[in-house]
Amino acid sequence: MEIIKNKIKAVIFDMDGTIINTEDIWQKITVDFLQAKGFTGNLAKQASLLESLAGVSLPGACKILKQEFNITDSLEDMIQDHVLLARPYMEKGVNFIGGFKDFHDHLKRNSILTGIATNADLETLSVLTKSMKFENFFGNNIYCMEHVGSRPKPDPAVFLHTATKLNVKPEECLVFEDSKYGFQAAQKAGMKCIAIKNDGNKDLLDLVHGSIDDYSQALEVIKEVVLKK
């Protein structure tokens, strides 16, 4: 662990699909939204589109849906509809990615700082912070794109903001992410990045420094990353 501590002062986590299993929930919410608007056909197109929305901010996803399906609702109404559909799921709580709690405990015992940096909207983040008790893990270091002027990944702003709040340099941070936009944001922020592997990012792993199936593999992969020239 000393090898890691000498190189890494803070670990920054994305949220959806990175520390909690929510990607399937967001896909279901989008399907429910489209069905409520009367779009029930062309399931192949929907499946492809849903996969492409992984890691996209909610406003960005709604903008894409509005264009693809010629939805006449305002962007603001579409966002609010998604938030309302999501709330019951988020209030119940969802599952953590395997091994996350033990891995976070290990970081805490070794005085490595941690924070959340997500593309989620503030309302959804607040609901999840309460239901998942995120403050027990991260204290107040829980940030979303609305904390940086609604600049979503791949803009690095939310990662850089989190590093500033943790009082560490970008190059002293390690990011865990699961999406193309997150990988790109970490790269632009000058931070090393480890991917949580999933079906949607298996062809994008050249954008990161390492990858894991779950957090039981995290320490070993971090060692490999920090020892690379």
pLDDT on residue 42:
60
pLDDT on residue 83:
84
DSSP code string of 176-214: EE-SHHHHHHHHHHT-EEEEE--TTTTT-GGGSSEEESS
Among the residues of the chain, which ranges form H helices?
2-7, 23-36, 43-52, 58-69, 75-92, 100-109, 122-131, 135-138, 157-166, 180-189, 218-227
Q: Over the chain (229 residues), what is each successive 10-residue block's mean pLDDT?
A: 82 96 82 83 66 77 87 88 85 90 96 96 92 96 96 96 98 96 97 93 94 97 86
pLDDT on residue 43:
56
**DSSP-derived 3-state class of residue 140:** coil
Domain ranges of the chain: 2-20+95-227, 23-92
At the topology level, CATH places domain 2-20+95-227 in Rossmann fold (3.40.50)
pLDDT on residue 134:
97
147 within 8 A of 44, measured Cβ to Cβ: no
pTM metric for this prediction: 0.86
pLDDT on residue 79:
86
pLDDT on residue 49:
76
